[in-house]
Amino acid sequence: MRETATKPPGGIPRARLKTCDDVRRFLAATINRVNRGELDHQIGGRLAYMANILVATIRDSDFEQRLAALEGQGNGR
What pLDDT, in 10s, does the model give residues 60-71?
Answer: 999 999 999 999
Supply the DSSP string of 36-63, one letter for each residue.
TTSS-HHHHHHHHHHHHHHHHHHHHHHH
Residue 1 confidence (pLDDT): 47
Burial of 47 (0-12, 13-18, 19+ CB in 10 A): buried
Spans of all domains in the chain: 18-75
Residue 5 confidence (pLDDT): 46
Residue 14 confidence (pLDDT): 79
Range scoring the smallest mean pLDDT among 5-9, 16-20, 35-39, 60-64? 5-9
Percent of the chain with pLDDT over 90: 70
